[in-house]
Structure 1
């Protein structure tokens, strides 16, 4: 079975972003921003409350300490710093989960931290070690340092696929600084090729193999609801829905 996940709670103060409320009924699990790239205490609490009320599981979505860049600008970090960034933010989320009777489902790093750990073995292992402390899986790019670190540390690994982002031919993600709409028919084709055929298409037109345990649709994508609806339809058609 394949799950559908979405990044949510990426708000700050009176400013809110994304299509969180409309996506909750469509997804299986949610990755909640924990304050460093987006999100504040009240926003985190509200997101946790709403998601749990919708019967959806929750994982932490820790990012780099970069509100202005939305966590999408790389930083130079030591592995122990990366671990503490993830530990600190996940601990905050767990406090809100505990307050509402929920539990942590997984850890999925955000933005540039996600990209950095997919390429750096020591940083990836540092993050996987935090997941081991909580006894939860990590989400990541298959056949990258994410998966190798999970296997080495001994935590479950969930292979992700993105229908609203482009890939390079080495299987790495191309993360845009600003969200943009993805044509629904294009998202559907990507989902079908990945889920049915085990293939993804890079930005240069080449194909590469992909394994999918969970499909991500970003909440801040302008047409996120339409994309998530399409992916849900594909999962149902292929009898892969979680």
Structure 2
């Protein structure tokens, strides 16, 4: 009799390159006239990737971090997370009044969703529906609204490299009628606009930017500390500018619009980083958005 491990790895669930021909037509048939739910930031906010443990393995200090943030991006089981952790994280959001969003990723538990994996567009569409749909069912059970969707790690970079993948992901996101969060980039913002999806631009303070003003993968970024995060948050909120990995200044291009600042919960100093950024965000909101 074959072992359970052999059965698992021979199953189609672990072969995301299988083509589901029926999906390809469906991807392009969705109307760009969908009415999307409101949910964009009305002032500066902090979001963090949460629920990224698995089984008995814990990743970040979710319980301590949750009171310091405004929006949680909840892992949906592909790059991290499992059903019990997803439900626990939703309940933490509910307890602390934090917006609950979906954080779908590539099917890569071993690599934490940060490795390059080639996926067919039809499979990608199905994978995003599957992950966000699972979280949405749990949110419904807890009486919590789905706030937003934010693609995780390598999935974000894959979308930037391949516009067909970007469209497949956004076609799936459009079903849920909520904003999509992403590092500020004109290409994705434009495609979201064409599809009627609200785009929420982000600034990353614990990851580096390239000389072109593009986000750099976590593995290629310098180690951060609370003071560096504070300085980056201050520059973004006060001047709309950031510093690239060479120390040169560039503009984020928000032009006065509120944005979300992302923190990674797997960074060792995340709690100290969050406290430092929280002070900057609260002070900036009092100065720039006093009536919100």
Partner residue of 2:7?
A: none
CA contact (8 A) 2:75 2:104 kept: yes
Distance 1:192 1:84 in 2: 39
Distance 2:182 2:134 in 1: 21
Distance 2:161 2:249 in 1: 20
Runs of 4+ in 1 over 3 A off after TM superposition: 177-181
Partner residue of 1:238?
A: 284
Normalized against structure 1, the TM-score is what?
0.94
Distance 1:81 1:27 in 2: 33
CA contact (8 A) 2:207 2:221 kept: no
Partner residue of 1:95?
A: 137
Partner residue of 1:219?
A: 265
* Bigger radius of gyration among the two: 2
1:166: how far off? 0.6
Partner residue of 2:89?
A: 47
Distance 1:204 1:177 in 2: 17
Alignment of 1:163-182 (within 5 A): 163-177=205-219, 181-182=223-224
Alignment of 1:58-207 (within 5 A): 58-177=100-219, 181-207=223-249
> How many correspondences in the alignment?
242
Distance 1:172 1:120 in 2: 15
Distance 2:183 2:121 in 1: 19
Distance 2:220 2:56 in 1: 20
Q: Deviations over 1:14-45 (max 9, x none)?
A: 11110211111111110000000101111111
Distance 1:88 1:198 in 2: 36
Normalized against structure 2, the TM-score is what?
0.78
Distance 1:82 1:171 in 2: 27
Partner residue of 2:34?
A: none
Mind listing any 5+ residue stretches in structure 1 that lack a counterpart?
Answer: none
Of residues 137-146 and 94-103 in structure 1, the stretch that sits farther from structure 2 once superposed is: 137-146
Distance 2:211 2:143 in 1: 43
Distance 1:27 1:118 in 2: 27
Distance 1:218 1:189 in 2: 17
* Structure 2 counterpart SS, 1:169: coil
1:180: how far off? 7.6
Of residues 27-36 and 185-194 in structure 1, the stretch that sits farther from structure 2 once superposed is: 185-194
